[in-house]
Structure 1
Amino acid sequence: MGVIIAIIVFGLIVTVHEFGHFICAKLSGIKVLEFSVGMGPKLLQKKKGETKYSLRALPIGGYCAMEGEDSTNSDPRSFRNAKLWKRMIVLVAGAMMNFVLGFVALVIMVSVFEKNAPTTVVRDFAKIRNEDQSISYSSMSYETGLQIDDKFISIDGTKVFSDIDLVYIFDTLNPGEAHTVVVKRNGEKVTLENVVFENTENGSKYDFAIYGKKKNPLTVLKVSGDRFMTMSHVIGLSLKQLFTGNMKKDDVSGPVGVVSVISDTAEQSRNVSEAIENILYIMSLITINVGIFNLLPIPGLDGGRLLFCLIELVRRKPVKPEHEGYVHLAGMVLLFSLMIFATYNDIVRLVTGG
Structure 2
Amino acid sequence: MNKKNLLMALLLIALIVIVPRSIVVAFLIFSFIVLVHEFGHFIVAKKSGIFVEEFAIGMGPKLISVEGKETVYSIRILPIGGFCKMLGEDEDAEDERAFNNKSVWARIATVFAGPLFNFILVFLASILMIGIFGYTDTVIMGVSDDTPAQLAGLQSGDEITKIDNKSVALRQDISLAMIAAQGNPVEFEIVRDGETFTRLITPEEVDRHHYRIGINLQHQKSSFIDTIQYGAYEFRYWARYTMTSFRMLFSGEFTRQDVAGPVGIVNMVSEGYEMGSSHGALGAIEMILTFIILISFNLGVVNLIPIPALDGGRLIFLIIEGIRGKPINREAEGFMHFVGFALLMALMVFLLFNDISNFRL
Q: Give the TM-score of the pair, scaled to structure 1.
A: 0.83
Other-structure match for 2:3: none
Q: State the shift of 1:235 in Å.
A: 1.4
Match of 2:303 in 1: 294
The alpha-carbon deviation at position 143 of structure 1 amounts to: 5.5
For 1:67-97, what per-residue CA distance to the aligned partner results, in whole angstroms no more than 9, with x for missing partners?
Answer: 0011222111111111111111111111111
1:315 corresponds to 2:324: yes
3-state secondary structure, aligned to 2:185: strand
User: Are 2:240 and 1:233 aligned?
Assistant: yes
Matched AA of 1:307 = I
Q: Secondary structure at the match of 1:181?
A: strand
Rate the CA distance shift 1:178–1:123 in 2: closer, same or farther, 3 A.
same
Which of these residues, 59, 63, 73, is aligned with residue 79 of structure 2? Answer: 59
Among candidates 49, 59, 64, match of residue 29 of structure 1: 49
Whole-Å Cα distance in 2 between the matches of residues 292 and 308 of structure 1? 18
CA displacement at 1:144 relative to structure 2: 2.5
Deviation at 1:205, TM superposition (A): 4.7
- The correspondence for 1:165, drawn from 169, 173, 183, is 173
Residue 15, structure 1, aligned to residue 55, structure 2: no
Counterpart of 1:126 in structure 2 is 143
Cα offset for 1:212? 4.3
Aligned partners of 1:194, 1:208: CA distance in 2, in Å?
Answer: 12
**Deviation at residue 318 of structure 1 after TM alignment:** 1.3
Map 1:121-160 → 2, pairs under 5 A: 122-126=139-143, 141=149, 144-146=152-154, 148-155=157-164, 160=168
Q: CA RMSD in A?
A: 3.0
1:237-252, aligned counterparts within 5 Å?
Answer: 237-244=244-251, 247-252=254-259
Question: Given the superposition, is the C-alpha separation of residues 212 and 145 from structure 1 closer, same or farther in structure 2, using an over 3 Å criterion?
Answer: same
1:316 to partner: Cα distance: 1.5
The match for 1:131 is none
The sequence identity of aligned pairs, in percent, is 37
Matched, 1:85 2:105: yes
Letter in 1 for 2:349: I
How many positions carry a matched residue from both structures?
A: 332
Q: Secondary structure at the match of 1:322?
A: helix
Conservation of the 8 A alpha-carbon contact between 2:160 and 2:168: no
TM-score w.r.t. the length of structure 2 is 0.82
Task: Report the counterpart of residue 337 of structure 2 in structure 1.
Answer: 328
Preserved CA contact (<8 Å) 2:304 2:310: yes
Asked if structure 1 preserves the Cα contact closer than 8 Å seen for 2:317 and 2:328, the reply is yes
CA distance in 2, matches of 1:123, 1:87: 49
- Find the aligned partners of 2:119 and 2:79 in 1 and give their Cα distance: 20
Deviation at 1:215, TM superposition (A): 1.3
Counterparts of 2:177 and 2:29, CA distance in 1 = 28
Preserved CA contact (<8 Å) 1:35 1:63: yes
Deviations 1:218-274 (A, max 9, x none): 211222221222222121122234445554233332111111111111122323321
Task: Describe the SS at the equivalent of 2:28.
Answer: helix
Task: Work out whether residues 50 and 87 of structure 2, in 8 Å CA contact, stay in contact via their aligned partners in 1.
Answer: yes
Gap regions ≥5 residues in structure 1: 128-136, 199-203
Q: Match for residue 189 of structure 2?
A: 183
User: How far is the alpha carbon of 1:146 from its aligned partner?
Assistant: 4.2
Question: Which residue is 1:345 aligned to?
Answer: 354
Match of 2:272 in 1: 265
Closer/same/farther in 2, CA of residues 213 and 56 from structure 1, 3 Å limit: same
In structure 2, distance between residues paired with 1:265 and 1:196 = 27
3-state DSSP of counterpart to 2:63: strand
The 3 A distance-change label for structure 1 pair 240 and 333 is farther
* Unpaired runs of at least 5, structure 2: 1-20, 206-210
Q: Does 2:257 align with 1:255?
A: no
What is the CA distance between 1:193 and its match in structure 2?
Answer: 2.8
Give the conservation status (yes or no) of the 8 Å contact 2:137–2:169: no
Q: Does 1:218 align with 2:238?
A: no
Q: 1:96 corresponds to which letter in structure 2?
A: L
Q: CA 1:194 to 1:4, structure 2 compared with 1: closer, same or farther past 3 Å? A: closer
Q: Tell me what 1:97 maps to.
A: 117
Q: Distance in 2 between matches of 1:244 and 1:141?
A: 29
- Structure 1 residue 282 and structure 2 residue 291: aligned? yes
Distance, in Å, in 1 between the alignment partners of 2:346 and 2:286 is 34
Q: Decide whether the 8 Å contact of 1:161 with 1:230 is kept in 2.
A: no
Q: Which amino acid aligns with 1:180?
A: V
